[in-house]
Chain A
Amino acid sequence: MTLEARGLTVRFGGVAALSGVSFRVAAGTVTSLIGPNGAGKTTAFNVITGFQRPSQGTVSHDGEPITGWRPHRIAARGLVRTFQKTSVFPGLSVRENVLTGLHLRGRVGVIAALLTRGRVREEERDLGAEADRVIEFVGLGGRRHEAASALSYGDQRRLELAVALAAKPRVLLLDEPASGMTASEKAAVATLIGRIRGQGVTVFLVEHDMRLVMGISDRVLVLNYGRLIADGDPAAVQRDPEVIRAYLGAGAHAHA
């Protein structure tokens, strides 16, 4: 079904990063959350994925409230995120990164690890095959054994995506996946997001690049100063006078 936020408010001291924000992300769609810097986009992601407790409001997934759950539990439910600042396991190889991302798909615990060599070997073989599949999917096939810290910026961002995909998301939350990328790299990311959605994964996206957002989104949410000021399909949002004001400043003409 859907991811739903109701009346989300987050206060840091006297500042409200989010005030009374409500929205829905429908299953199977690409939904984008946009807004000027400091509008509260990443805060919204942090609340949804359990890294930040809301002062008020609730988040629910498929009707079940998940507000206040710890991040690993939310991930286990199928809500997996990436981070605005590149976040990988730097000392590990590409393959080890993805294998770590596959954590939830493994079953072996301490007892099994210590006592059942056969089961561990079988699981490692299955996870290894799955890791290779995910690595191919994001196009890092040739870099499998390189250290994550040695990858180019663009490849690190691909790896991030691979690690998140390995966790088998039902809803994938991407925080500025194309920031700092060249035009061709951005196009590649857009294609990749399309393919991810094609596999039935709901994508919730925070992004600054308007062409990317308008090109791939089914629905666009606009935040400004912690408030939701628009919610609709890309074309409607682009025409919305309040959105234009937020982006271009008061008094701007609506010809953007």
Chain B
Amino acid sequence: MSRVALGIALAAALTAPAWVWNPYHLHTLIMAGIFAVLALSLNLLLGYTGQLSLGHAAFFGMGAYATGLLTVKLEWSPWIGLLAATVLPAAAGYVIGRLALKLRGAYFVLLTISFAGCVSLVSVNWMDLTNGPLGIPGVPPVEIALPGLPVLSLRSKAAYYYLVLAAVALSYLMCRALVRSRVGRALVALRENETLAASVGIDATHYLVLAALISAGMAGFAGGLYAHYTRFVSPEVFLFTYTVTMVIMVVAGGKGTLAGPVVGAVLFTVLPEALRAAASWQWQMLLYGILLIAVLFFMPEGIVPSLRAAQRRWRTS
């Protein structure tokens, strides 16, 4: 049954630009994809190592600025920009991980919040580099230039949709490969019982740093995708709202599962837009809040684990 559902979802995702004719709806799907990469990245830390980063928007924003600056000011290729959008935040994630050597739980949360605050302030105040609150307009579109073929510009929403879809698939497969190996077990061991993990030889620092590095790199990559999609980067990318949205997606979708963050990302990107169409603005946020509370109340483990449990019950009865 879940295979059928998965097949339908995949087919729908692959053919979406063909039947989603309203560009605004396609835009919503592209944003859902970017958020899916973000949620997958946050899940690596929150869901598997059990450490909550409330500074994830910092990595997202750093990625957006990295490629924005390189492609606009230095006119480098967007592909190099996207690479830098991954590598620079990953380096920052490495530093955060090292600093978190002895910090867990609430202290880790505070560290990541402070880090995000610092980076955000830099983006506003370092006028010479970032143009401050005015942002960086004119970020070029991504182009695919293969030898012997005409240059394919991913300027259209439909084309960009496929780039984002590929990014989601890549992120998902990366997470899956990690989680299903010895590395993933080490991460989960830190979440479940760090003392016992150490006593069987798991180096907590090593794996925490690793998780932070990979997670930050993925979030930065999503930031790069966002920059080349909106073609504009401003300090708005550091908004705390982005982080909160990511946390909601991971927790509601099912933290510590592979599909949870993707399901959460799609649902909580589409939901506000659907509410915007359905209700007047005074009611949108209220309804959003009520729906979120309902999900967490009836499915405290998240949507994906709850559906799996329901499916098991249905099978055995």
**Which A residues are within 8 Å of any B CB, using their own CB?**
49, 51, 70-73, 75-76, 80-83, 87-92, 96, 99-101, 103-104, 106-110, 112-114, 117, 120, 123-124, 127, 163-164, 166-167
Contacts and interface: CB of A to CB of B under 8 A. Distances in A.
Contacts of B200: 75, 80, 100-101, 103-104, 163-164, 166-167
Given A72-B198, A103-B202, A108-B183, 12 more contacts: A51-B195, A70-B203, A72-B197, A72-B199, A75-B199, A87-B196, A100-B197, A110-B183, A112-B181, A164-B199, A164-B200, A167-B200
Interface in B166-221: 174, 177-178, 180-186, 188-189, 192-193, 195-204, 210, 214
A75 B186 CA distance: 15
A90 B201 contact: no
A81 B197 CA distance: 11
Given A71-B199, A83-B196, A166-B200, A89 B189 contact: yes
B300 to A, nearest CB: 14
Central interface residue in A71, A96, A164, by most chain B CB within 10 Å:
A71
B203 A72 contact: yes
The 6 closest A-B pairs by CB, nearest first: A75-B201, A113-B181, A89-B192, A106-B182, A71-B198, A104-B201
B128 to A, nearest CB: 37
Interface in B200-256: 200-204, 210, 214
Given A103-B185, A120-B180, A75 B210 contact: no
A46 to B, nearest CB: 11
A166 to B, nearest CB: 7
Contacts of A80: 199-201
Interface in B44-68: none
Contacts of B199: 49, 51, 71-72, 75, 80-83, 164, 167
Contact of A110 (B178, B185, B189, B202): B178
Contacts of B178: 110, 113-114
A5 B186 CA distance: 31
Contacts of A104: 200-201
A110 B214 contact: yes
A91 B256 CA distance: 11
Contact of A103 (B174, B180, B192, B201): B201
A108 B182 contact: yes
11 contacts: A71-B199, A72-B203, A75-B198, A75-B200, A80-B201, A90-B193, A108-B182, A110-B183, A110-B210, A120-B180, A124-B180
Contacts of A75: 198-201
Contacts of B210: 110
Interface of B: 174, 177-178, 180-186, 188-189, 192-193, 195-204, 210, 214
Contacts of A81: 199
B183 A100 contact: no
B177 A113 contact: yes
A76 B200 CA distance: 8
A71 B178 CA distance: 24
Nearest to B195: A87
B201 A76 contact: yes
Nearest to B185: A100
A87 B189 CA distance: 12
A99 B180 contact: no
A127 B186 CA distance: 14
Contact of A87 (B193, B201, B204, B214): B193
A72 B192 contact: no
Contacts of B189: 89, 100, 103
A113 B185 contact: no
B198 A123 contact: no
B14 to A, nearest CB: 23
A123 B183 CA distance: 12
B221 to A, nearest CB: 14
Contacts of B185: 96, 99-100, 103
A228 B174 CA distance: 54
Contacts of A99: 185
Given A72-B204, A113-B178, A114-B178, A163 B183 contact: no
A103 B198 contact: no
Nearest to A117: B177
B201 A163 contact: no
Contacts of B181: 108, 112-113, 120, 123-124
Nearest to B182: A106
Contacts of A101: 200
A52 B200 CA distance: 16
B192 A90 contact: yes
Central interface residue in B180, B195, B202, B214, by most chain A CB within 10 Å:
B202
A108 B165 CA distance: 29
A80 to B, nearest CB: 6
A107 B186 CA distance: 12
A120 B180 CA distance: 9
